[in-house]
Structure 1
Amino acid sequence: MKQHTLPALLALSLLVGCSSSEEIVPDVPPSELYSEAQVSLQSGNWLTAIEQLEALDSRYPFGAYSEQVQLDLIYAYYKNDDLALGLATIERFTRLNPTHEKIDWVLYMRGLTHMAQDRNFMHDLLNMDRNDRDPEPVKAAFKDFKRLLERYPNSPYAEDAEMRMFALKNRLAEYDLATADFYLRREAWIAAINRCQELQKTYPDTEAARKSLAIQLEAYQQLGLQEAIERTTELMVLNPI
């Protein structure tokens, strides 16, 4: 008997442990749980709001609050820096509700979430220059905001999206400038020149484009290309920093 008692007790304790861990959010009516989630959202208690909204989403996936719960989760994930979950929820919502009345907001939030992926905690904390970090999230955000402006030009989020695109364009230009400088320091003169010219063509109205002329000039000087040196010097006079 004793040999069977211990395993039975262990199994019982595991069952009790599992049941208690699953009850993070009490089993209450959906209307009550949704109201509690709204209170958590309004007070900025993002983690609690996420737990409550996720509980609603899993228990009542086709309930009356289904669409709004997903919209609230997109916002809560963004505020709580759960960016991967936010993008996954945006993808799910867009796939299931392509003509929803708030789809412009969803696209706007996708842009914001991609922008947030570009943030670097130490960069924000120490105000460090990290323009050399991977710009893929920036490119994705720029694409999201551009799509918003093209599809929903009268959206209340269009103006802010346009301003963010301007900032993102400068961020991408600074990345190209950092890359050109990297090539210059490695004495890869042709690569530096090519990156500078690509920057000037893609982002001609940025400060980074004007700064790239100095890198381009030095590379031409190292190669001894006199005609290109004179042409770049003239461009620097016409486009002062």
Structure 2
Amino acid sequence: MPLTRIISILLFSFALSACSWFKDKLPEPDIPEQQLYEEALQAMDLNDWDLALEKLQLLEARYPFGRFSEQAQLELIYAYFNNYEPEAARAAADRFIRLHPNHDNIDYAYYLKGLTAFEQDRSWVASYLPVDESKRDPGAALESFESFNQLVTRYPDSQFSPDAQKRMVYLKNRLAAYEVHVARYYIKRGAYVAAVNRGRYVVENMQETPALADALGVQVEAYTLLGRQQLAADTLAVLQENFPDYQYTPAYKAEKSLLDAATFDLFSSAEEPPPPVLVTESIPAPERSLFSKLTFGLFDDDEEKPSSSAE
């Protein structure tokens, strides 16, 4: 009898504890679709983006084919954008474009996708510090330009196209400046053919950007260092014809000696570098011996390299 009583008490205690364990796991009552959507809009009006995302995600999960489903997917893109979640915003935009290619507001999805990448490219650091954006990775800028270009090309009459076109001008200038920056880097590293190709790309595809003169100057310098004097002269003629007052600072510079580097040029006898000058004379191309080429320069002595300006 005592054993039976103990077992009964244990079973009763287990039943009571089970109720408390599974109390939180009971299914929540269904919220009507329209109520969920209205609550999400109210949260967005209050800039409570976390709550808005929660409501919109719940709406999409419970009513995937409901009356507000497609509009909720659009609002999701906007909410992710304002909640500083660029990857989620772009993924939501791509998903909407894939699922609803003929939607009346698909131009809005393209616009939000481009705007998300545009704001991601312009980081908060650049807003407060004098950062040269032309030296930063252009991945987000390129993605933004492509999204805006798709919007303008496919939906030229969209209400978002004028703003997208203005942003494309900025992005194209940014991308052209980056190409010139990379070309100058290639010259410093001795990759003159790659520098020419970068400059040519700007000349052929971005003629309306401010970086056009720099791209021509880079080509003149790279052609000269390659020993292609005729190509350098032809490019220089185009540069002088279109930009007669342009001044170009060569990217190629002679290397410092070990003493100069160690003493921060305190004992250097070299004169101060000349100011930027217009490229009017050819830069002597560096010559290497056959032994130097065969050994990849491993046993080269400190040879005189072409100066940054005509002597």
> Could you say which TM-score interval applies, normalised by the shorter chain?
0.7 to 0.9
Q: Give the 4+ runs in structure 1 shifted more than 6 A.
A: 8-14
Change in CA separation of 1:55 and 1:125 when aligned onto 2, cut-off 3 Å:
farther
Identical-pair percentage: 39
2:225 corresponds to: 222
Q: What letter corresponds to residue 53 of structure 2 in structure 1?
A: I
Matched, 1:108 2:111: yes
Change in CA separation of 1:144 and 1:60 when aligned onto 2, cut-off 3 Å:
same
Shift of 1:69: 0.9
2:71 corresponds to: 68
> How far apart, in 2, do the equivalents of 1:238 and 1:19 lie?
77
> How far apart, in 1, do the equivalents of 2:226 and 2:158 lie?
51
> How far apart, in 2, do the equivalents of 1:151 and 1:221 lie?
44
* 1:170-201 Cα deviation digits (max 9, x unpaired): 12211211110110121222221221112211
Q: 1:57-96 residue pairs with structure 2 within 5 A?
A: 57-96=60-99
> How far apart, in 1, do the equivalents of 2:122 and 2:30 lie?
37
78, 98, 101: which one aligns with 2:101: 98
2:201 corresponds to: 198
Matched, 1:239 2:245: no
2:40 corresponds to: 37
Shift of 1:15: 5.8
> How far apart, in 2, do the equivalents of 1:30 and 1:138 lie?
38
Shift of 1:99: 1.4
8 Å contact from structure 2 (residues 133, 174) kept in 1? no
Q: 1:142-161 residue pairs with structure 2 within 5 A?
A: 142-161=145-164
Matched, 1:51 2:54: yes
Q: Which has the higher helix share?
A: 1
Which one is further off, 134-143 or 208-217? Answer: 134-143
Q: 1:172-211 residue pairs with structure 2 within 5 A?
A: 172-211=175-214
1:166 corresponds to: 169
Q: What letter corresponds to residue 91 of structure 1 in structure 2?
A: D
Query: What's the RMSD between the two structures over aligned residues?
Result: 3.1
Shift of 1:229: 3.3
Question: Gapped runs of 5+ residues in structure 1?
Answer: none
Q: What letter corresponds to residue 46 of structure 1 in structure 2?
A: W
Shift of 1:59: 2.1
TM-score, normalised via structure 2 length: 0.65
- Tell me the secondary structure at the aligned position of residue 131 of structure 1: helix
> How far apart, in 2, do the equivalents of 1:11 and 1:200 lie?
75
8 Å contact from structure 2 (residues 155, 161) kept in 1? yes
> How far apart, in 1, do the equivalents of 2:228 and 2:214 lie?
20
Question: Gapped runs of 5+ residues in structure 2?
Answer: 1-5, 247-311
Q: What letter corresponds to residue 123 of structure 1 in structure 2?
A: A
2:294 corresponds to: none
Shift of 1:32: 2.6
Shift of 1:38: 1.0
Matched, 1:135 2:138: yes
Change in CA separation of 1:81 and 1:14 when aligned onto 2, cut-off 3 Å:
farther
Greater Rg by CA: 2
Change in CA separation of 1:192 and 1:28 when aligned onto 2, cut-off 3 Å:
same
* Residues matched between the structures, number: 234
Shift of 1:37: 1.4
Change in CA separation of 1:12 and 1:228 when aligned onto 2, cut-off 3 Å:
farther
> How far apart, in 1, do the equivalents of 2:94 and 2:16 lie?
45
Change in CA separation of 1:216 and 1:36 when aligned onto 2, cut-off 3 Å:
same
